[in-house]
Amino acid sequence: MPVSLTIIPELDLVHIVYSGRVTPQELFVETQACYQRPDYQPGMSEVSDFFRVTSFEIGYDEMHKFTTRSNETHGSLDSPIDICLVGSTKVSEPAILMYEGLIAAKNIPIRLHVVPGYPEMLATLNLPEECLKYFPDFGHQERHLL
């Protein structure tokens, strides 16, 4: 599956791992399904991992639609949510830049952070090193950077 979501209630966040070929269908269906889960709470931070993406087949129209849905989901919150995009690569960078630009243009209450790895994500979200245990093993390989 190109999109895998895990809700981590102990950290009040959603961890999303993208892999392989990511299309608008997976992006829309999986993320919207997350917001319908009983353990999801509006305002949770999100961590999206792009290290394993081989292609992002998302154009401007699809990203515009996705950010419109983001605004519908997060627009009524009292304070902005933090979204960390981890592992920007040459494959994911165009989609990230498009998302970043559309979030800013639409004034969606999201603080977007593009970070190179999990140590930077922990620092950005002000989470202690012990929180790394909640993430898959591939995040642990960067423990030496903490």
Going by C-alpha positions, the residue among 41, 45, 33, 51 that lies closest to residue 96 is 51
Helix (H) or strand (E) holding 45: strand 45-56
* Alpha-carbon gap, residue 13 to 26, rounded angstroms: 20
* Alpha-carbon gap, residue 26 to 56, rounded angstroms: 11
Answer whether residue 143 shows pLDDT above 80. no
Q: pLDDT at position 28, please?
A: 79
CATH of domain 3-135: 3.30.750.24
Q: What is the pLDDT of residues 80-133, one digit of tens each?
A: 999 999 988 888 889 889 999 999 998 888 999 999 988 899 999 999 988 888
* Alpha-carbon gap, residue 136 to 28, rounded angstroms: 23
Domain boundaries, the chain: 3-135
Q: What is the pLDDT of residues 17-56, one digit of tens each?
A: 988 998 888 877 877 888 888 999 888 999 999 988 999 8
* Alpha-carbon gap, residue 44 to 1, rounded angstroms: 23
Q: What is the pLDDT of residues 47-86, one digit of tens each?
A: 999 988 999 888 899 989 888 888 888 878 888 999 999 9
- What band does 142 get if pLDDT is binned at 50, 70 and 90? low
